Structure 1
Amino acid sequence: MTSLAPPAVGVRTPWEALPTTVRAAVADMLGAPVARAVTQTGGFSPGVAARVTTAGGRRAFVKAVSAEVNPVSPGMHREEARNAAALPPDVPAPRFLGSYDDGTWVALVFEDVAGRQPTVPWRESELALVLDAVGKLSRTLTPAPFDAPTVVESLAEAFRGWQQVIDEGDEGDEGGDGAVLDPWTVSHLPHLAELAASWTGLADGDTLAHCDLRADNILLTEDGRVVFVDWPHARRGAAPWFDLLLMLPSVRAQGGPDPEEVFAAHPLGRDAESDAVTATLAGFAGFMIRNCRQPPPPGLPTLRAFQRAQGEAALEWLRKRLG
């Protein structure tokens, strides 16, 4: 399968556009002013995302955003600051160095990980490394190492996408990115909504889930490590297989293998209860399909097309599971 999803990119704010107060706060955290900043293009944040080097030679990764760029992003950065500070040291994530928050601008500073995102379309060898790391991540985060909102609390409404499409009465209308529901989906909407409604009682557990694993949130290092970045959506109370399920549609959408085959062969997937997987997948597919039909958020022009590709891959997987 060829790569279908567009690159996961937002409209980045350059480092030089940061207010002087923000740059000064970063300099205080790093012990010297930033002498060089290289913007990173992967990921959907519309704010600053830069690898920086200070005048003293120290390297770090800085992300910063203001409510003027996107009203939702500062809240996500604040959540990520709390989550990153609470992650245990044995979790393969960048070390959190500090944050700045003046009520408008929020900046986070992490150690710089000398790595790169996986190649897309996905390469078999790199996917094997990541799949193994996802299994280890789930084991490391079970039981959940810190208190966070639960998966069910956070996603119950979002995973009602099929019912929302029914309630909105726009089954045949073009969505925000031109997406039109296919005839099979339209005819099965009531069943999909009913199926998705049952996921909340089936996908709970004692694992802390990242909840947003995609190629642009993963770094591969030269020494073979897999590092998971961007933790604003981390939620507790998930089944051990939850992250694997949410990740595989994006893998498929970016040229990867059949998600059912990958899931069934993975230790986390083999231990999963079939009805729980199908219901959760129905909820996730509805979330992505309904979202991709909305107007794009400020500063995120490719988000809806990426969600559409994920949603279509999830729906294709779901149809296979439903026979």
Structure 2
Amino acid sequence: MSAIVPAQGVRMEWQEIPATVRGALEQQLGARVVEAATQRGGFSPGVAARLRLADGTRAFAKAVSAEVNEQSAAMHRTELANAALLPPGTPAPRLLGSYDDGLWVVLLFEDVAGRQPHVPWVPAELDRVLAAVGRLSERLTPAPDGAEPLPDEPFKGWRLLAAAHADGTDDLADMDPWVRTHLTALAARERDCGRAIAGDTLAHADLRADNILLTDAGAVFVDWPHACRAARWFDLLVMLPSVAMQGGPSPETLFAAHPAAQGAVAEDVTTALIGLTGMFLDQARRPAPPGLPTLRPFQQAQGEQALAWLKTRLAGGSPAG
């Protein structure tokens, strides 16, 4: 089993946001912030803080400066747009406000009274989350107007690895021998990922323990920058490698038994898993982004679990399809 790698960036504190920005946020919230509790889980080099206001209300702030990480700032902007797509009743935090001065990007959400699941996974909590994932897929089918399909860019990992191997910039010597044997077939089949995952569900597309809050009513799903139109089973597929990496059961067993996977075309699921595995393993070989020292090890651990699942689905054979 892969090591349990923490999903954790280098957080900034609320007080590190410039005073002028904090003042603008307090104006939107309608009261002064008297307490800010930093939340450590999740991949962000910015602020993630639960706020208590002078009038007794609460809020949650996500903030990042493009000077620290331009990609994180862009993702905050994308999440703002995606938050507007979520229909009423979606188990996600309600957007309260936002701020963007071209450098600092801040999102203000309602503060959800909940906690992340225990890691390693506790069976009862995993059952609650899997049931909530099923309800989420039902609630977000059909996808709301404006939801876009997942772009092809994430699913080029095997082709990038094959190109690096071919031109000698990466010998892939530390890769699983099965990967090196089947690299050409993996690179060819991932080209079909877009078609394989196509569907009419708005998928979160980045479900894992640090993006889930357990509440008295069930579960709430946070951090939506990757939301896209996809197959009903796509969120489940994306989530299960991290579940396995964090002490959960076999992905194949969980996937086959889940209502969201019923009726899924087996070849499409395998094709999507090929793309997901290549994405994780390719990104894990890149330099760490600023402020995210654990991201690459986390992706490597997810990739190893996804690869083990893929080999199970292919029974150790060829991915040529």
TM bucket (normalised to shorter chain) is over 0.9
Say whether residues 1:244 and 2:240 are aligned partners: no
Q: Which residue number corresponds to residue 265 of structure 1?
A: 257
Q: Name whichever of 165-174 and 300-309 sits farther off.
A: 165-174
Residue 30 of structure 1 contacts residue 58 of structure 1 at CA under 8 Å; is this kept in 2? Answer: no
After superposition, the CA RMSD in angstroms is 1.2
Q: Which residue number corresponds to residue 90 of structure 2?
A: 91
Aligned residue for 2:200, secondary structure, equals strand
Q: Which residue number corresponds to residue 213 of structure 2?
A: 219
Letter in 1 for 2:224: W
TM-score, length of structure 1 as denominator length: 0.94
Residue 164 of structure 2 contacts residue 171 of structure 2 at CA under 8 Å; is this kept in 1? Answer: no
| Deviation of the 1:266 alpha carbon | 0.6
Say whether residues 1:182 and 2:157 are aligned partners: no
Q: Which residue number corresponds to residue 105 of structure 2?
A: 106
| Deviation of the 1:243 alpha carbon | 0.5
Q: Which residue number corresponds to residue 4 of structure 1?
A: 3
Residue 171 of structure 1 contacts residue 181 of structure 1 at CA under 8 Å; is this kept in 2? Answer: no
Q: Distance in 2 between matches of 1:251 and 1:271?
A: 23
Alignment of 1:239-318 (within 5 A): 239-318=231-310
Q: Deviations over 1:157-191 (max 9, x none)?
A: 221211110111255347xxxxx212111111112
Q: Which residue number corresponds to residue 153 of structure 2?
A: 157
Say whether residues 1:229 and 2:222 are aligned partners: yes
| Deviation of the 1:86 alpha carbon | 2.7
Letter in 1 for 2:292: L
Q: Distance in 1 between matches of 2:86 and 2:279?
A: 27
Task: Return 5+ residue gaps in structure 1 as ranges.
Answer: 175-179
Alignment of 1:192-203 (within 5 A): 192-203=186-197
Q: Which residue number corresponds to residue 18 of structure 2?
A: 19
Q: Which residue number corresponds to residue 162 of structure 2?
A: 166
Q: Runs of 4+ in structure 1 displaced over 6 angstroms?
A: none
Q: Distance in 1 between matches of 2:154 and 2:110?
A: 33
Q: Which residue number corresponds to residue 131 of structure 1?
A: 130
TM-score, length of structure 2 as denominator length: 0.94
Identical pairs, percent: 59
Q: Distance in 2 between matches of 1:157 and 1:51?
A: 34
| Deviation of the 1:148 alpha carbon | 2.8
Q: Distance in 2 between matches of 1:318 and 1:173?
A: 19
Q: Distance in 2 between matches of 1:86 and 1:207?
A: 12
Say whether residues 1:205 and 2:205 are aligned partners: no
Residue 99 of structure 1 contacts residue 108 of structure 1 at CA under 8 Å; is this kept in 2? Answer: yes
| Deviation of the 1:271 alpha carbon | 1.7
Q: How many residues align?
A: 312
Q: Deviations over 1:214-250 (max 9, x none)?
A: 10000001x24200000111112x1110110000001
Q: Which residue number corresponds to residue 177 of structure 1?
A: none
Residue 85 of structure 2 contacts residue 147 of structure 2 at CA under 8 Å; is this kept in 1? Answer: no
Residue 121 of structure 2 contacts residue 247 of structure 2 at CA under 8 Å; is this kept in 1? Answer: yes
